[in-house]
């Protein structure tokens, strides 16, 4: 069975390809960069297309069935498992879906889709952790900058500066990072001439 | 406690009322917590409604109808929603002033199209935003009116509206029919000239609606009325020419800053109050009769062979049609 992976995230596409290639009955093709989904489907004639749902050209595959000019001999359509709603919801939540050649038996698709969901989830989690880590780092930097500016302005110690930020946050029911950001914005504004 | 609602949108000027109501706290005043979700394609709008937690979406009726009928994925109970905009779609063809002058000078548009095609030197590739769109139906009407066969004399390429300009510049397509502000953007960038659109093909047609899931309505009684009231307020603001600079700034802001990343000059050319294009977009929440709103779309869709008599009956129960007479059958398809 020929599977086309359409994902602009080359790292994720590569990881999914390695995962699927463990099954020797599958021939896995990666969509080349700057190739449209339709062109790739036309030239490779896959049985299944696993698509990253953030790909804007996915709309073209939606139309294949009705568009006689699409030039595809074997019509493809969005794979829908009517009996397994959770699988479909998980797939869209993870950001992946499958387009199948209409005569491909459904039983072949679900394990593939499950592998893709697991992998996409893993990538999403790693990405979210990375973003959270970056945010924590940048929050800490902002608080430090506000603290040092306060120390300079008020000629006080670091503990006093932090205590002042924390007190402001408690009194106004906000986070320390928000108070720090506001303090910096207020005190580093360029004075008008 | 406020009612939450996730609404799917695309990068289009007619998404403005939802963003305006968010930014100006109109929704929150009506006790609503609206999360607009901007997605890259119409397929994501339909799948978002069916599988991915959207409670509603700003969309054109043909896609809502085909989604309701389960013709692209699982069937979902969707009924006509609040109208948001009318018209605004533009059909543009590759060329600059010289090509436009030739087009304008030839009163017979069949000949004008053939002359343009000859200069192009290939079968024209025309971009449309989705198969199940008002744009596809309008393009089909335009070609049919001018005795041009869409299926044998053109190649239809489906791509999202925000990709059209890049595709035109790269020579992937030779023209397109898309919603605002993309047609105006193509003409302002001297990539294409306008030949037709909503105003000349189907004046005043319903374009975008806010479609809500029946499940959300049932789970949140009275919320629909509040949501509509909030959007009516936002639409009144969107239609005020004095607000155009604010709307332009809002829609042209980058996506990461809560905007839609739309081109500023093109927005100025299509927002209400401007007269630079006949295909100016109108925000309008007034409901018309079912027949006036959807009759021409259902005729076009049936002519394409998308709607069987059984599906048409389902549409009647869902409120998309109240016609007693027959629609065109495929055999009576209008001449193309």
What CATH number is attached to the domain comprising A151? 1.10.10.10
User: In terms of domains, do A88 and A55 share one?
Assistant: yes
- A91 inside 8 A of chain B by CB: yes
pLDDT of residue A78: 87
Instruction: Report pLDDT for A76.
Output: 82
For residues A96 and A165, membership in a common domain is answered with no
Give yes or no for a contact between B61 and B250, defined as CB atoms under 8 angstroms apart. no
- With respect to residue A192, please indicate whether it lies within any of the assigned structural domains: no
Residue A150 lies in a domain: yes
Same domain, A119 and A137: no
Q: Residue A148 CB: number of other CB atoms within 10 A?
A: 12
DSSP state letters, A139-191: HHHHHHHHHHHHHHHHT--HHHHHHHHHHHHHHTT--HHHHHHHHHHHHSSPP
Q: Which of B72, B155, B306 sits opposite A62 (nearest CB)?
A: B72
Contact B44/A56 with Cβ under 8 angstroms? Answer: no
Choose, out of B38, B44, B76, the residue to mutate when testing the contact with A (most A CBs < 10 Å). B44
Distance CA A127, CA A119 (A): 12
Same-domain pairing of A121 and A144? no
DSSP B39-83: -SSHHHHHHHHHTS--SEEEE-HHHHHHHHTTSSSS---B---EE
Residue B44: what pLDDT? 94
Cα B17 to Cα A135: distance, rounded to the nearest angstrom: 32
Q: What is the pLDDT of residue A191?
A: 44
> What does the DSSP 8-state code read for residue B213?
B
A131 reaches B (C-beta below 8 A) = no
Instruction: Tell me the pLDDT tens digit for each residue of A75-88.
Output: 788 888 888 889 99
Q: Which residue numbers in chain A have pLDDT < 50? A: 190-193
| Mean pLDDT in residue range B56-75 | 94
Three-class DSSP category at B113: helix
Strand blocks (E) in chain B: 3-9, 32-38, 56-59, 82-86, 90-94, 125-128, 155-158, 175-178, 192-197, 206-212, 282-283
Q: Do A59 and B160 touch (CB under 8 A)?
A: yes
Q: Indicate whether A121 and A146 sit together in one domain.
A: no
Assess if residue A142 is contained within a domain: yes
In DSSP notation, A42-85 reads HHH--SEEEEETT-TTHHHHHTTTT-GGG--SS-EEE---TT-H
Predicted local confidence at residue B215, as pLDDT = 94
Residues A111 and A147 in one domain: no
- How close B234 comes to chain A (CA, Å)? 29
Distance CA B66, CA B292 (A): 19
- B48 lies within 8 A of chain A by CB: yes
B45 touches chain A (CB under 8 A): no
Q: Does A102 touch chain B (CB under 8 A)?
A: no
* Burial readout B283-298 (b: 16 or more C-beta within 10 A, e: otherwise): bbbeeeebeebbbbbb
Give contacts of A 154-193 with B, CB under 8 A.
none
Distance from CA of A86 to the nearest CA of B (A): 9
Residues of B in contact with A66 (CB under 8 A): 131, 304-306
Between B2 and B334, the more confident residue is B2
Which two three-digit tokens encode residue A134?
Answer: 């970056």
**Number of domains making up chain A:** 2
Tell me if A73 is assigned to some domain: yes
pLDDT band per the 50, 70, 90 thresholds, residue B256: confident
Give yes or no for B122 touching A (CB within 8 A): no
Contact B52 A63 (CB under 8 A): no
Contact B43 A59 (CB under 8 A): yes
Of B277 and B2, the structure prediction assigns the larger pLDDT to B2
Give the end of a domain, one of A86, A106, A127: A127
Q: Is residue A109 part of a domain?
A: yes
| pLDDT value for A66 | 60
pLDDT at B325: 64
CB contact under 8 A, A92 and B52: yes
Q: Distance from B157 to chain A by nearest Cα, in Å?
A: 7
Same domain, A64 and A114: yes
Minimum CA–CA partner of B123 in chain A: A69
- Asked whether residue B214 carries a pLDDT value surpassing 60, the answer given is yes
In terms of residue numbers, what domain contains A144?
132-187
* Range with lowest mean pLDDT among A5-14, A170-179, B168-177, B196-205: A170-179
For residue range B66-86, what is the model confidence (pLDDT) as tens digits?
A: 999 998 888 999 999 999 999
The residue in chain B having the minimum alpha-carbon distance to the alpha carbon of residue A76 is B72
Count of Cβ atoms closer than 10 Å to residue B9 Cβ? 21
- Write down which residue in A127, A143, A164 finishes a domain: A127
Residue B24 touches chain A, beta carbons under 8 Å: no
Phi (first) and psi of residue A101, to 5 degrees: -65, 135
CB atoms A93 and B72 under 8 Å: no
What's CA A179's distance to the chain center, in Å?
A: 31
Nearest residue of A to residue B160, measured between CA atoms: A56
Residue A43 domain flag: yes
Give me the mean pLDDT over the B314-326 stretch: 88
Tell me, yes or no, if A86 comes closer than 8 A to chain B by beta carbon. no
CATH number, residue A112 = 3.40.190
Same domain, A93 and A122: yes
Identify whether residues A110 and A168 lie together within a single domain: no
Question: Does residue B56 have a pLDDT over 90?
Answer: yes
Residues in chain A: 193
C-alpha count within 13 angstroms, C-beta hemisphere, residue B195: 31
- Using a CB-CB cut-off of 8 Å, the residues of chain A touching B159 are 56-57, 59-60
Is residue B39 within 8 Å of B48, Cβ to Cβ?
yes
- Is the confidence at residue B114, as pLDDT, over 90? yes
The interface predicted TM-score of the complex, written ipTM, equals 0.80
Regarding whether A141 and A102 lie in a shared domain, the answer is no
Q: Does B127 touch chain A (CB under 8 A)?
A: no
Partner A contacted by B151 (CB < 8 A): yes
Say which residue, B41 or B210, is predicted with more confidence: B210
- A37 domain residue, yes or no: yes
Q: Is residue B331 pLDDT above 50, yes or no?
A: no
């Amino acid at each position: 069975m020929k599977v086309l992976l359409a994902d602009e995230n080359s790292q994720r596409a590569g990881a999914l390809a390695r995962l699927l290639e463990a099954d020797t009955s599958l021939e896995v093709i990666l969509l080349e960069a700057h190739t449209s989904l339709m062109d790739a489907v036309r030239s490779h004639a896959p049985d299944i297309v696993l698509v990253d749902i953030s790909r804007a050209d996915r709309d073209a595959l939606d139309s294949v069935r009705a568009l006689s000019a699409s030039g595809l001999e074997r019509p493809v359509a969005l794979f829908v498992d009517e009996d397994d709603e959770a699988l479909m919801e998980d797939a869209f939540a993870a950001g992946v879906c499958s387009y199948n050649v209409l005569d491909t038996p459904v039983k072949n698709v679900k394990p593939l889709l499950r592998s893709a969901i697991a992998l996409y989830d893993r990538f999403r989690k790693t990405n979210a952790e990375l973003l959270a880590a970056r945010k924590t780092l940048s929050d800490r930097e902002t608080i430090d900058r506000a603290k040092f500016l306060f120390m300079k302005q008020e000629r006080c110690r670091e503990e006093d500066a932090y205590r002042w930020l924390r007190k402001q946050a408690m009194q106004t029911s906000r986070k320390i990072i928000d108070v720090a950001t506001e303090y910096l914005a207020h005190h580093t504004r360029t004075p008008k001439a | 406690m406020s009612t939450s609602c996730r609404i799917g949108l695309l990068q289009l000027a007619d998404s403005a009322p939802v963003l305006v109501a968010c930014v100006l706290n109109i929704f929150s005043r009506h006790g609503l917590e609206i999360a607009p979700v901007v997605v890259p394609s119409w397929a994501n709008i339909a799948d978002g409604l069916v599988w991915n937690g959207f409670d509603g979406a700003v969309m054109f009726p043909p896609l809502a109808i085909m989604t309701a009928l389960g013709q692209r994925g699982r069937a979902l109970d969707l009924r006509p929603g609040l109208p948001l905009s009318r018209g605004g779609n533009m059909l543009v063809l590759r060329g600059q002033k010289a090509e436009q002058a030739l087009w304008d000078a030839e009163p017979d548009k069949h000949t004008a199209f053939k002359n343009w095609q000859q200069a192009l030197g290939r079968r024209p590739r025309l971009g449309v935003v989705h198969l199940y769109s008002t744009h596809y139906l309008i393009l089909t009407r335009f070609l049919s009116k001018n005795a041009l066969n869409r299926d044998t004399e053109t190649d239809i390429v489906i791509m999202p509206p925000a990709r059209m300009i890049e595709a035109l510049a790269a020579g992937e397509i030779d023209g397109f029919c898309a919603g605002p502000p993309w047609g105006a953007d193509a003409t302002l960038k001297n990539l294409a000239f306008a030949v037709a659109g909503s105003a000349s093909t189907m004046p005043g047609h319903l374009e975008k609606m806010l479609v809500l899931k029946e499940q959300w309505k049932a789970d949140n009684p009275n919320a629909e009325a509040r949501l509509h009231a909030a959007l009516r307020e936002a639409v009144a603001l969107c239609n005020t020419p004095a607000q155009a600079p604010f709307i332009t700034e809002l829609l042209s802001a980058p996506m990461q800053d809560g905007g839609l990343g739309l081109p500023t000059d093109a927005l100025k050319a299509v927002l209400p109050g401007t007269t630079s294009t006949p295909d100016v977009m109108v925000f309008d929440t007034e409901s018309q009769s079912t027949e006036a709103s959807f009759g021409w779309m259902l005729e076009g869709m049936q002519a394409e062979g998308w709607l069987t008599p059984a599906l048409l009956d389902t549409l009647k129960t869902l409120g998309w049609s109240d016609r007693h007479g027959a629609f065109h059958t495929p055999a009576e398809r209008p001449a193309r």
